[in-house]
């Protein structure tokens, strides 16, 4: 029984306008005719595409209607209990005749709610932007040209192609299905993949269920094996997936661990603040102060002291950080991953496409009839011009290149003016013109294909040139695997001879020599037998081995520098590849990976022979895993995690998905990665470049420090405001700040100055620091010390000004204005000090433009509050002399100077510690 709640509705879907129901019973020719398209070239003109798009719309499933922004804004006034208390206070003030107070409180409430709403709206928009960073794509043929496009651009009649790991972009009538099985569990609830065919269903009395429509590939389902092509028959809401989309209620995503920690911190501080505020209010009333004044002060203090905006600022900071990473080609799909990035201390990386450029070129060829050149037994392609290659092309080599051409799925894209597909396939086709050869696929008709898989390690096709009785089978793959399927070979005269052990040994020796040069080696074989089977385990047999081709995939330009920086920061970088140990070691040395000790290189067979405990023991010194399968990746991740390491794992294939999910950070390839891998991953590299991981880890570490910085700012401000009012009330002094002024301070604490600390540019120094431990608290002893130091200086300085200005028992507008301005200036200097936890501001400079504008804007607002008559009435202030401002600026800068002194001693102590360490 399926657990899918939509199964009953889906399986019973009998919509009269269902395109899948209609076309599953139509032949391919009828489908092509009805949709007015072409089976080989797709839709012919852009105007036709535009007409179809205007008729059918965009291939997207629209979300629920957006909530009215005005209503959402107004809801903030009655959903927050503290705001309701302030509104009640304003109503009471108006009822008692204190019209000025009522108007002031109302304006203050509006400002506070607006700032909070803007923050939340910004957070939501940032998260919406994240959801658009990894749009669905499809391989499309239009007017004979094949290219990768956004799935949203598809229209009915389009010809699309898909292979293992791809997500079907629309409802499609299949026109080609090679070993094609599709996982439809997210649509039907059935976990078993469905074998697809191109045959139309025979007309039946009963309406075929979705699971019976084997000639249709449904939107949103996943290709588990094989590949295929088809004609788009319906898009968007008109697909079968669109029919059940309306039934899906949105599930609220769980908060990230960091957000949960911030929620807990906020709740703990709220409880503490409420207790202090309650005591302040009680003491004030017992001292005979107006209960309404104490009520207003207490509620305003609660709004200011309780960091209700903390989780929002955390979300905004994480989201903006993720958007910055996207500009560096690293798309983080889940916010919690940002926290984990700063803790990664092991990176397991694929070789091909990540550490290397993923652009293969054929460099060496070997066959038994080649006599050698340049003192080498191989034909060295890169050292010869086209004329020389023509002259040295032997009969057997011609067979090898022909095999590489026919057993090939690369397609030519007119739009991109190059071949697209598997890099090895592309390399085999691109080298043909250098030998004066043409692509042989145009003269052959393929009748069967056994696609490459990581378990088979080879690909086979069966083709003929017009006569089915003269069909032939061609195989390419790992040399030892192809050799195992062969029982004969072409000798130096081009004759077919039995494959003896001596010849096998020679072939494997040549394969090893190519691998030792860091080349990917492919073996080729063929026979004149027909190979067509539906059996899962069937293999071609009695093949004639033809020869070997070695191809080079050079390392990416910046990868060695990135590895050096990661190793300097305490990150263990490991290469995982399916290539031979010799090839892997050659590439590892080129990119600067240390190969030290007998356990530096481990093969897949060795992994299988070791227990989990034994593997965990030896794995600390491993730099390269060779001859591995995707299944080995899971074992490797578990072994590292068993040691307590935080593991990042890269992958691109369907079988990599379990390891990507298991890893602390799964990293999928954006260009060559399958949709399954991307969905399982936490991060997608849009350029498939290893150096991008370095940028992402740098951002992850930087974001964590930025969060600590703005928490330091918020807590020091909150503690200072609470303590200031508490001390004044305790000693029987008038309240140094009125309700409006406290609310303005709250805006500064939760608003632009605090947010700007969250987008502080990442300091390159973070990469020299060791990875953060998984259980490290964000509120460390060092952070608490900084908070208490800053809060103490703000309290002492503000109390000094208040007591100095307080001449009589009756507080004046000047007294509160001086105290109010003093606190705000302290806050601005404190924000400046909080930009970096250990570096002087004179070192980092004024590089954070958002911070600069936030502080200037806050100071402008403060000057408006004390010099503009309208705001003077609201905040109950009066104009100050220029000398007053100079005096306050000098006094308030002490919090900045004090933190600079602290940073100096921290730096000095660090240098002494490092010096002692290096001395040892």
361 phi, psi to nearest 5 deg: -135, 135
User: Could you give the 3-state DSSP secondary structure of residue 638?
Assistant: helix
For 446-568, where are the alpha helices, taking DSSP H only? 479-484, 501-516, 559-568
Reported as half-sphere exposure (CB side, CA atoms, 13 A), residue 97 has a value of: 0
> Residues 225, 350, 579, 682: which is the catalytic one?
350
For 496-620, where are the alpha helices, taking DSSP H only? 501-516, 559-568, 581-590, 604-609, 612-618
The answer for residues whose C-beta is within 8 angstroms of residue 693's C-beta and 6 or more apart is 330, 347, 349, 562, 648, 650, 667, 685
DSSP code of 373?
B
Q: What is the dihedral of CA 814, 816, 822, 824, to 10 degrees?
A: -130
Give the per-residue SS3 of 420-439: ECCHHHHHHHHCHHHHCCCC
For 621-689, where are the alpha helices, taking DSSP H only? 630-642, 657-662, 675-680
Q: How far, rounded to the nearest angstrom, does the alpha carbon of residue 156 sit from its chain's CA centroid?
A: 31
- Spatial separation of the C-alpha atoms in residues 366 and 492, rounded to whole Å: 11
Closest CA to 739 of 879, 880, 876: 876
DSSP code of 536?
T
User: Could you give the 3-state DSSP secondary structure of residue 550?
Assistant: strand
- Spatial separation of the C-alpha atoms in residues 499 and 540, rounded to whole Å: 16
Q: Is 268 a catalytic residue?
A: no
Centre a 10 Å sphere on the Cβ of residue 777 and count the other Cβ atoms it contains. 10
* Cα-Cα end-to-end distance for the chain: 66
DSSP string for residues in 225-288: EEEEEEEEEE-GGGSHHHHHHTT-PPPPPPPPHHHHHHHHHHHHHHHHHHHHHHHHHHHHHHTT
Say how many residues make up the chain.
920
* CA distances in angstroms from 664 to 624, 660, 667, listed in the order given: 20, 8, 10
* CA distances in angstroms from 331 to 126, 582, 651, 861, 891, listed in the order given: 13, 34, 15, 38, 46
Reported as half-sphere exposure (CB side, CA atoms, 13 A), residue 900 has a value of: 12
Contact 177, 161 (CB under 8 A): no
- Spatial separation of the C-alpha atoms in residues 87 and 105, rounded to whole Å: 8
Closest CA to 666 of 315, 353, 316, 344: 344
The answer for residues whose C-beta is within 8 angstroms of residue 903's C-beta and 6 or more apart is 836, 838, 839, 840
Give the per-residue SS3 of 793-840: HHHHHHHHHHHHHCCCCCCCHHHHHHHHHHHHHHHHHHHHHCCCCCCC
Residues labelled as active-site residues: 350
């Amino acid at each position: 029984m399926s657990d899918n709640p939509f199964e009953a509705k889906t399986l019973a879907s009998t919509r009269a306008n269902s395109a899948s129901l209609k076309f599953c019973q139509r032949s391919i020719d009828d489908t092509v005719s009805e949709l007015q398209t072409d089976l080989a070239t797709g839709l012919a003109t852009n105007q036709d595409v535009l007409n179809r798009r205007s008729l059918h719309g965009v291939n997207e499933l629209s979300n629920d209607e957006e909530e009215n922004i005005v209503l959402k804004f107004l809801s903030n006034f009655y959903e927050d209990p503290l705001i309701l208390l302030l509104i009640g206070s304003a109503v009471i003030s108006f009822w008692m005749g204190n019209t000025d107070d009522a108007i002031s409180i109302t304006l203050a409430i509006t400002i506070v709610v607006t700032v909070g709403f803007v923050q939340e709206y910004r957070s939501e928009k940032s998260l919406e932007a994240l959801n658009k960073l990894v749009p669905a794509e499809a391989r499309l043929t239009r007017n004979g040209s094949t290219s990768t496009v956004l799935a949203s651009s598809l229209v009915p009649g389009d010809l699309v192609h898909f292979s293992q790991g791809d997500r079907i972009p629309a409802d499609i009538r299949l026109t080609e299905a090679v070993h094609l099985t599709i996982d439809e569990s997210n649509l039907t609830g059935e976990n078993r993949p469905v074998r697809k065919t191109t045959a139309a269903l025979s007309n039946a009395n009963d309406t075929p269920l979705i699971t019976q429509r084997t000639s249709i590939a449904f939107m949103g389902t996943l290709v588990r094996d094989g590949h295929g092509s088809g004609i788009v028959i319906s898009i968007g809401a008109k697909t079968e997936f669109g029919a059940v989309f309306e039934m899906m209620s949105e599930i609220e995503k769980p908060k990230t661990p960091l957000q949960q920690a911030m929620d807990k911190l906020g709740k703990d501080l709220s409880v503490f603040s409420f207790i202090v505020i309650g005591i302040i209010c009680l003491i004030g009333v017992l001292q005979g102060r107006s209960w309404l004044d104490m009520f207003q002060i207490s509620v305003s203090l609660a709004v200011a002291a309780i960091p209700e905006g903390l989780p929002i600022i955390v979300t905004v900071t994480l989201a903006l950080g993720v958007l910055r990473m996207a500009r560096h080609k690293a798309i983080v799909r889940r916010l919690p991953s940002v926290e984990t990035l700063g803790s990664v201390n092991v990176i397991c990386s694929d070789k091909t496409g990540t550490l290397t450029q993923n652009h293969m070129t054929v460099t060496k060829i070997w066959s038994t009839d080649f006599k050698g050149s340049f003192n080498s037994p191989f034909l060295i392609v890169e050292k010869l011009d086209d004329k020389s290659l023509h002259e040295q092309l032997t009969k057997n080599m011609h067979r090898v290149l022909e095999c590489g051409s026919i057993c090939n799925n690369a397609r030519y894209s007119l739009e991109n003016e190059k071949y697209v597909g598997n890099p090895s396939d592309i390399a085999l086709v691109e080298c043909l013109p250098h030998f004066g050869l043409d692509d042989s696929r145009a003269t052959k008709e393929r009748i069967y294909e056994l696609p490459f898989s990581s378990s088979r390690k080879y690909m086979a096709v069966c083709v003929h040139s017009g006569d089915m009785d003269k069909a032939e089978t061609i195989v390419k793959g790992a040399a030892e695997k192809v050799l195992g399927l062969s029982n004969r070979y072409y000798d130096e005269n081009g004759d077919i001879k039995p494959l003896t052990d001596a010849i096998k040994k020679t072939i494997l020796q040549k394969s090893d020599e190519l691998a030792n040069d860091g080349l990917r080696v492919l073996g080729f074989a063929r026979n004149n037998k027909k190979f067509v089977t539906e059996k899962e385990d069937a293999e071609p047999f009695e093949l004639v081995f033809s020869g070997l081709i070695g191809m080079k995939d050079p390392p990416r330009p910046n990868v060695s520098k990135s590895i050096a920086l990661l190793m300097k920061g305490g990150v263990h970088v490991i290469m995982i590849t399916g290539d031979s140990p010799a090839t892997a070691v050659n590439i590892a040395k080129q990119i600067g990976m240390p190969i030290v000790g007998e356990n530096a290189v481990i093969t897949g067979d060795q992994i299988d022979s070791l227990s989990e405990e034994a593997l965990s023991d030896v794995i600390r010194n491993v730099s390269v895993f060779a001859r591995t399968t995707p299944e080995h990746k899971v074992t490797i991740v578990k072994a590292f995690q068993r040691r307590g390491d935080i593991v990042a794992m890269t992958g691109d294939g369907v079988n990599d998905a379990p390891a990507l999910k298991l890893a602390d950070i799964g990293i999928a390839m954006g260009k060559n990665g399958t949709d399954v891998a991307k969905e399982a991953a936490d991060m997608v590299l849009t350029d498939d470049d290893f150096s991008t991981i370095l940028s992402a880890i740098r951002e992850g570490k930087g974001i964590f420090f930025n969060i600590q910085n703005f928490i330091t700012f918020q807590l020091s401000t909150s503690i200072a405001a609470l303590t200031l009012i508490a001390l004044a009330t305790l000693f029987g002094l008038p309240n140094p700040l009125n309700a409006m002024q406290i609310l303005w301070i709250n805006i500064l604490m939760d608003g632009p100055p605090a947010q700007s600390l969250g987008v502080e540019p990442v300091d390159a120094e973070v990469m020299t620091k060791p990875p953060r431990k998984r259980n490290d608290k964000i509120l460390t002893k060092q952070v608490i010390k900084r908070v208490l130091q800053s809060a103490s200086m703000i309290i002492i300085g503000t109390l000094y000004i208040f007591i100095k200005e307080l001449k009589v028992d009756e507080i004046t507008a000047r007294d509160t204005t001086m105290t109010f301005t003093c606190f705000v200036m302290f806050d601005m200097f404190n924000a400046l000090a909080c930009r970096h936890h250990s570096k002087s501001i004179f070192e980092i400079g004024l590089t954070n433009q958002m911070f600069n504008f936030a502080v200037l804007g806050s100071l402008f607002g403060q000057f408006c509050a004390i010099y503009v008559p309208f705001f003077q009435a609201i905040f109950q202030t009066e104009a100050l002399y220029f000398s007053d401002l100079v005096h306050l600026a000098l006094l308030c800068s002490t919090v900045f100077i004090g933190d600079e002194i602290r940073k100096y001693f921290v730096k000095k102590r660090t240098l002494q510690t490092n010096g002692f360490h290096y001395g040892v």
